C-alpha cells in the first residue's frame, strides 16, 4: 500500500510506503447490563457504551476490570433525559472528574455531563448550552462534532451544503463553513453532498487539533482548533471515485466505505478502515487499524488487521488496549496493541538486518 502525505501549500507532498503487519486477534467478552451497543468511548478509567433500545442511553464500566459501574441518560424528553443524541469523541477531566459531551437533537442543546455525578444522583442537571434561537439551529441536525477550547464547535451537518465542516463560535454566535475537499471529478447532487463528505471527528486531549476520518474517501484529515485543514493522509487505491450524482440511492452503487470510527490519544490517531464494497456486502472477517501521528514526522502510518471485525473503537492509551464493538450486540472485543507494536518492531529489525 502507498500512502500520500499531503500537507499545506508551504510543504511539498511526500510519498511513503507502509507494511501491512500481523493480525491482532481479539478476545470477546459479554458486557453485563448492555443490550444493544451503538458507540464506545474511553475517558480516564471509564468505558462509556452508548446504547440503543435500552431504558438508559449510557452504560459505564471500569476499563481495567470491565465491571459495571452504573447507567445514566434515561430515554425521554425531560431536563436530564435524551432521545436523539450524538456522543462527542473528546476527553474532558475537571478536578479528577470525567465529563462526557452530548448533543441532544430533540432539545437542540449540548450537555457537559459529570459521568459519576449523573450515575449517583437521582436528580442530576448537567451544564447545558442551548441553541434554539441561535445560528447553530441552521445546521440542524448535526452528524458529528467536537468542542475545541470550550468555546468553538466544529462538526458536520445533514442539510446545509455550504462546506465540509461548520465552525460555530459559541460565545459570539458566529457561524462559518470550511470549504469542501477533496473535489470529486463527478459532481455530486446537491442533496447528496453531505452524505459524500460524511466523516468522524475526534478531539486531541490538548484541544488544539482535530482528526477527521472519512467514510467515502480513504483519507484522514487533521484540522486545527478552528476547523482549518493542517494536513491530510490520503491512501492511494484502485477503487472507483465515489459517484454521488444521483439522489436515488444511499449509498450509491459502486462506492466503497472506508473509515467507520476514530479514537485519538495525545500522540496518535487510530482510525478503523473496513474497506467495504457496498455492492458486495460480504461478511467482513477482519478490518484494518490505521495508527498515525498528529504531526508530519516522516513516519509512515502503521497498518494492522483486527480479527474479529468491529465497527467502533476506543483506545486505552495507558494500557495499550483497543476496545471494539459491533453494532447492536452486547459484546466487547479486546485487542492488545502492545503485541502488535512488538511484532512490528521485530519485522522492521529483520528487514533492516537483511
Report pLDDT digits (tens) over 95-154: 889 999 998 887 788 999 999 999 998 788 888 888 777 888 788 788 899 999 778 999
Which is more confident, 281 or 24? 24
Q: Which of 5-19, 48-62, 98-112, 117-131 has the lowest mean pLDDT?
A: 5-19
**Alpha carbon distance 238, 341 (integer Å):** 28
Domains parsed from the chain with CATH numbers: 2-30+133-353 (2.120.10), 32-130 (no CATH)
State yes or no: pLDDT of 8 exceeds 50.
no
Cα–Cα separations (whole angstroms), residue 234 to 10, 49, 206: 18, 30, 24
Q: What is the pTM of this model?
A: 0.91
State yes or no: pLDDT of 212 exceeds 90.
yes
Structure confidence by residue, pLDDT tens digits, 234-275 = 988 888 899 999 999 999 998 999 999 999 999 999 999 999
Structure confidence by residue, pLDDT tens digits, 282-296 = 777 889 999 999 998
**Alpha carbon distance 291, 299 (integer Å):** 11
C-beta of residue 165 within 8 angstroms of C-beta of residue 227:
yes
DSSP assignment string, 113-168: EEHHHHHH-SS---EEEE-TTSGGGGGPSEEEEEEETTTEEEEEESS-TT-SEEEE
Which is more confident, 150 or 31? 31
Phi, psi of 280 (to 5 degrees): -90, -50
Q: Residue 173: helix, strand or coil by DSSP?
A: coil
Q: What's the pLDDT score for residue 344?
A: 55
Instruction: Enumerate long-range contacts of 92-98, CB under 8 Å, 24 or more apart.
Output: 92/43, 93/43, 93/44, 98/43, 98/44, 98/45, 98/46
**Alpha carbon distance 176, 200 (integer Å):** 19
C-beta of residue 147 within 8 angstroms of C-beta of residue 88:
yes
Q: Residue 43: helix, strand or coil by DSSP?
A: strand
State yes or no: pLDDT of 193 exceeds 60.
yes
Percent of all residues in the chain with a pLDDT value above 70, rounded to a whole number: 90
Residue with cell 454521488: 244
Average pLDDT, the chain: 87
Amino acid at each position: 500500500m502507498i500512502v500520500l502525505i499531503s500537507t499545506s501549500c508551504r510543504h511539498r507532498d511526500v510519498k511513503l510506503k507502509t507494511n501491512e503487519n500481523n493480525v491482532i486477534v481479539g478476545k470477546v467478552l459479554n458486557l453485563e447490563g448492555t443490550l444493544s451497543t451503538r458507540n464506545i468511548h474511553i475517558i480516564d478509567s471509564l468505558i462509556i457504551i452508548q446504547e440503543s433500545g435500552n431504558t438508559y442511553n449510557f452504560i459505564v464500566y471500569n476499563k481495567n476490570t470491565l465491571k459495571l459501574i452504573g447507567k445514566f441518560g434515561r430515554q425521554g424528553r425531560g431536563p436530564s433525559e435524551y432521545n436523539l443524541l450524538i456522543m462527542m469523541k473528546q476527553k474532558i477531566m475537571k478536578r479528577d472528574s470525567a465529563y462526557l459531551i452530548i448533543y441532544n437533537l430533540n432539545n437542540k442543546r449540548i450537555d457537559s455531563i459529570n459521568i459519576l455525578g449523573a450515575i449517583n444522583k437521582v436528580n442530576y442537571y448537567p451544564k447545558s448550552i442551548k441553541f434554539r434561537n441561535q445560528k447553530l439551529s441552521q445546521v440542524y441536525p448535526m452528524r458529528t462534532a467536537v468542542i475545541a477550547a470550550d468555546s468553538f464547535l466544529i462538526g458536520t451537518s445533514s442539510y446545509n451544503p455550504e462546506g465540509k465542516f461548520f465552525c460555530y463560535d459559541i460565545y459570539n454566535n458566529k457561524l462559518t463553513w470550511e470549504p469542501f475537499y477533496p473535489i470529486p471529478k463527478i459532481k455530486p447532487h446537491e442533496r447528496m453532498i453531505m452524505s459524500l463528505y460524511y466523516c468522524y471527528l475526534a478531539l486531541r486531549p490538548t484541544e488544539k487539533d482535530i482528526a477527521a476520518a472519512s467514510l467515502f474517501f480513504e483519507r484522514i484529515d487533521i484540522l486545527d482548533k478552528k476547523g482549518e485543514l493542517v494536513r491530510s493522509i490520503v491512501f492511494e487505491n484502485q477503487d472507483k471515485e465515489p459517484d454521488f450524482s444521483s439522489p436515488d440511492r444511499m449509498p450509491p452503487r459502486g462506492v466503497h466505505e472506508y473509515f467507520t470510527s476514530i479514537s485519538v490519544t495525545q500522540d496518535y490517531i487510530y482510525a478503523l478502515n473496513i474497506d467495504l464494497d457496498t455492492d458486495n456486502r460480504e461478511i467482513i472477517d477482519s478490518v484494518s487499524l490505521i495508527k498515525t501521528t498528529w504531526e508530519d514526522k516522516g513516519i509512515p502510518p502503521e497498518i494492522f488487521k483486527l480479527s474479529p471485525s468491529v465497527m467502533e473503537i476506543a483506545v486505552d492509551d495507558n494500557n495499550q488496549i483497543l476496545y471494539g464493538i459491533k453494532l447492536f450486540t452486547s459484546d466487547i472485543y479486546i485487542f492488545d496493541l502492545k503485541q502488535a507494536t512488538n511484532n512490528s518492531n521485530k519485522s522492521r529489525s529483520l528487514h533492516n538486518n537483511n
